[in-house]
Amino acid sequence: MQVTSAVRRRRDGEKTAAVFIDYARALDSVDHNCIVKALMSFGVEKHLVAWIANFLQGRTAQVRVSHTLSEDIRLTGGVPQGSMLGPLLFIVTVDSLSKRLNCIPGLQHGFFADDLTIVCKSADRSAIQKAIQPGLDCITRWSEEHDMKVSVEKTEYTLFGSRETNLLSLKVGENMLKEVRTPKLLGLTMQPRKELSKHVQGVKAAAEVRPLQLRAVASPEWGPEREKLRAFYRALVQAKVCYGMASWWFDTSLSDRERLEKVQAQAAHIVAGILKAANRNDAMREARLRPINELAHRRALEYYLRLKAKGSTQEKLAESIFPPEHAIHARRSGNNLSQDFSDGRVVCGFLFLRGCQKETAQRVIMRSMVVGLSPPCHMDPSNDPHRHHEQAPILLHTKF
């Protein structure tokens, strides 16, 4: 989120250059001696360093061709992938690179495992060139010292905020880097301008196929129960739509958000087992699903509060990622995400009654006009965020 925030939250006239570094077999090539030195620099106790060195060393590999095995090959580098220690040891090793990059003025960087991104933001293109190229030279030198190699073919850069191309001349060693217009960072498709329509299109295309899979098993006669369908939906569809949403949702247009809300609404009708023509809000309540916009606010707010709780250093990071004008601050000061009532709790506009038994469920009477009935707890319909100038749905406690 720190990298995406630096890339997209720029002032008028500013440009942001981002280089997406790709290491060739990073976890398989880092030198064991460099790992041991990094552990000692952190002050790890000697007996633990010796234990980890023993864990890494003495490993062998063989190559099979048909029924023939090669001789043992002794491995002098790499961390065992799939182990708990492997990624941690790699992170400890690259900490020295992070410290070197911090010494370059105007340069920001971010690691996620072996994915490294360096960023520079300025209105002056020459200032960007002067910050990015020393960063690349630093990465090249450090990689050679640690027996690691940058993959020039897969390392790319993008200049955000500019319609023109080839304005920068960036090299790794003697090789020129190629510029791309829509790079991908950990699954997020980015664009040179301040929009994410291509990412939304990709998410929608992948997600809208999955409700068809859900519909195939959603028979009322022999299909799974509603709660199981809801679990299927959350794993198949919602997980795809909501991946990393705290970092990109608030930079999308309202029309793009509505496209994704429609995908969820389609799935909500399937989970609820009601007609396609039924009101979207009724289907969402019946399926016990929250709007994607509410999920995005909640996840962003949770991340913000986790950063704030980690101390002054992370608190500054939280304020840079979520500046005062960010939507979560308006949400915190304007609308509470939850409001307690005497016999129920409204969370993001949904009423959950306390003390419900397993054999009962909350059912929705679609826009009922039954005389003498009112919403539970006498909830004011004007406070319902899902009410579109119509009578609020009435929630009743009924058995299946």
The answer to pTM > 0.85 is: no
The more confidently predicted of residues 200 and 399 is 200
How far does CA 299 lie from the centroid of its chain? 10
Please state, rounded to an integer, the average pLDDT across all residues of the chain. 77
- Asked whether the predicted pLDDT for residue 81 surpasses 50, the reply is yes
**Residue 332 confidence (pLDDT):** 56
Residue range of the domain that includes 341? 336-400
**Residue 324 confidence (pLDDT):** 77
Taking only the tens place, the pLDDT of each residue in 380-391 is 444 444 444 444
Domain shared by 165 and 23, yes or no? yes
Taking only the tens place, the pLDDT of each residue in 88-105 is 998 999 999 999 999 999
Percent of the chain topping pLDDT 70: 80
Confidence of residue 333 (pLDDT cuts 50, 70, 90): low
**Residue 14 confidence (pLDDT):** 82
Cβ proximity of 307 and 317 under 8 Å: yes
Taking only the tens place, the pLDDT of each residue in 228-270 is 888 888 888 888 888 888 888 888 888 989 999 988 888 888 8
**Count of structural domains within the chain:** 3
Taking only the tens place, the pLDDT of each residue in 298-329 is 888 888 888 888 877 777 778 777 877 777 77
- Asked whether the predicted pLDDT for residue 345 surpasses 70, the reply is no
- Most confident option among 306-310, 328-332, 348-352, 368-372: 306-310
Q: What is the mean pLDDT of residues 203-207?
A: 86
**Residue 79 confidence (pLDDT):** 84
Amino acid at 176: M
Domain shared by 142 and 234, yes or no? no
Q: Please tell me the distance from the alpha carbon of residue 109 to that of residue 155, in angstroms, as a whole number.
A: 15
Taking only the tens place, the pLDDT of each residue in 141-177 is 999 888 888 988 889 998 888 777 788 889 998 889 9
Confidence of residue 331 (pLDDT cuts 50, 70, 90): low
Q: Write the CB contacts of 68 (distance below 8 Å, at least 6 apart in sequence).
A: none
DSSP string, 289-343: ---HHHHHHHHHHHHHHHHHTT-HHHHHHHHHHS-TTSHHHHHHHH--SEEE-SS
Domain shared by 217 and 182, yes or no? no
| Domain's final residue, options 335, 363, 382 | 335
- Asked whether the predicted pLDDT for residue 279 surpasses 80, the reply is yes
The more confidently predicted of residues 193 and 25 is 25
- Asked whether the predicted pLDDT for residue 219 surpasses 60, the reply is yes
**Residue 359 confidence (pLDDT):** 33
| Domain's final residue, options 177, 194, 211 | 194
**Residue 51 confidence (pLDDT):** 93
For the stretch 188-195, contacts whose Cβ atoms lie closer than 8 Å and that sit 24 or more positions apart, written own/partner, are 188/4, 188/244, 188/247, 188/248, 190/4, 190/7, 190/8, 190/158, 190/160, 192/158, 192/159, 192/160, 192/161, 192/162, 192/163, 193/160, 193/161, 194/8, 194/251, 195/251, 195/252, 195/253
Amino acid at 304: Y
Domain shared by 148 and 21, yes or no? yes
Domain shared by 256 and 172, yes or no? no
**Of 140-154, 201-215, 364-378, the least confident:** 364-378
The more confidently predicted of residues 377 and 2 is 2
- Asked whether the predicted pLDDT for residue 127 surpasses 60, the reply is yes
Domain shared by 352 and 323, yes or no? no
**Residue 8 confidence (pLDDT):** 67
Domain shared by 203 and 309, yes or no? yes
Domain shared by 32 and 142, yes or no? yes
Domain shared by 173 and 257, yes or no? no
| Domain's final residue, options 317, 335, 353 | 335
How many of the other CB atoms lie within 10 Å of CB of 333?
A: 8
Q: What is the mean pLDDT of residues 278-287?
A: 85
Cα-Cα end-to-end distance for the chain: 44
Domain shared by 222 and 347, yes or no? no
Domain shared by 158 and 261, yes or no? no
**Residue 133 confidence (pLDDT):** 93
Domain shared by 67 and 42, yes or no? yes
